Amino acid sequence: MGKSSKELVKVLVVDDEERFRKTTVRMLKDKGLAVDEAADGSVALEKLAKGDFDVVLLDIKMPGLSGEDTFHRIQQNCYDVETVFLSGHVSLNRAVDLIQHGAFDYILKPSSFQDIFKKIQKAYGQKMLRNGKIDIHDLLCNPE
């Protein structure tokens, strides 16, 4: 995915459903990604303030600080991450609205792990493109 083995793609998985979160974390680690997790938006924001992440997988509906509220705080703090929303309940209109407001994309749960992994790859490519670390030719010719 563009980084050397010493420079792993860093993903933060934020979901209040422990089983889903733990399974996703394990599977992403098995794919060679550096992964951390948070059970709610407040913990996610603490981890983002301390760490350097590339992609945040963010559940929309969580108790306490919702995914949408967490996303707005990510934007307010100008964290250099791409956000991919996860939800089993999002409407198409809501998903489009989130993307129009800066989210990279959304994934409807349940979804295959392969779909989640591909979305992370694309989000990471977008971040590298935005930061000038790759050009559009790299993204189009090496989509992985």
How confident is the model over 98-131, as pLDDT tens digits?
Answer: 888 999 999 988 889 999 999 999 999 999 888 7
Instruction: Give the three-state DSSP class for 20.
Output: helix
Preceding peptide of 110 cis, ω within 30°? yes
Alpha carbon distance 117, 14 (integer Å):
15
Please write the tens of the pLDDT for every residue from 16-35.
Answer: 999 999 999 999 999 999 99
DSSP annotation of 131: T
Higher pLDDT, 139 or 110: 110
Question: Using an 8 Å Cβ cutoff, are 56 and 14 in contact?
Answer: yes
Q: What three-state secondary structure class fits 31?
A: coil
Domain boundaries, the chain: 10-141
Of 3.90.1640.10, 3.90.320.10, 1.10.3720.10, 3.40.50.2300, which CATH number belongs to 10-141?
A: 3.40.50.2300
Model confidence at 141, pLDDT cuts 50, 70, 90, reads low
pLDDT computed for residue 139 by the predictor: 54
Q: Which of 90, 27, 79 is nearest to 50 (CA)?
A: 79
Average pLDDT of the residues in 48-63: 94
